[in-house]
Amino acid sequence: MSASALHILLLGTLALIGVGLYGLLAVRNLIKVIVALQIMVKGALLALVMAGAAAGQPNLGQSLAATVIVADTVVAVVGLALAVQVRRYVGTLDVRALSSLKK
Partner 1 sequence: MTAFAWLIIVPLAASPLVYLTGQWGIRRGHPGAARWAGLIALLAAWVPFTQAAAGFAANGTATLTAGAQMLALDGVSLLLAALALGLGTLVALYSAAYMAADDGQDKYYAMLVLLVGVMIGLGCATDLFNLWLWFEGMAISTYLLVAFYRTQPASLEAGVKYLVQSAVGSVFVLFGIALVLAQTGTLTLGEIAAQATLTPGFLAAGALFVIGFGVKVAAAPMHTWLPDAHAQAPSGISAMLSGVVIEAGLIALLRALSALAGLALPWGVLLMAFGALNMLVGNLMALRQQQVKRLLAFSSLSHVGYMLIGLGVAVYAGEAAGAEGGLFHMLTHGLMKGLAFLAAGALLWALHLARGDHGALTIDDLRGAARRYPLIALALSAAVLALGGLPPLAGFMSKWQIFQAGAATHETALLLVVIFAGLNSVLSLAYYAPLVNTMYRREPSEAVLAGAPVPASMRLPLIVLLLAVVIVGFWPGLLAGLTGPAGAALLAAFGGG
- Which of 55, 66, 69, 94 binds partner 1 (CB under 8 A)? It is 55
Three-state DSSP class for 91?
coil
Q: Are 38 and 24 in contact (CB under 8 A)?
A: no
User: From CA 99, how far away is CA 103, in angstroms rounded?
Assistant: 10
- Asked if 89 touches partner 1 (CB under 8 A), the answer is yes
Q: Which of 27, 31, 35, 95 binds partner 1 (CB under 8 A)?
A: 95
- Among residues 26, 41, 30, 36, the alpha carbon closest in space to that of 72 is found at 41
73 is an interface residue for partner 1 by CB under 8 A: no
Choosing from 11, 67, 69, 94, the residue that interacts with partner 1 (CB under 8 A) is 67
Residues 14-43 that bind partner 1 (CB under 8 A): 17, 20-21, 24, 30, 33, 37, 40-41, 43
For position 85 contacting partner 1 by CB under 8 A, the verdict is yes
10 Å CB burial of residue 34 (0-12, 13-18, 19+) is: buried
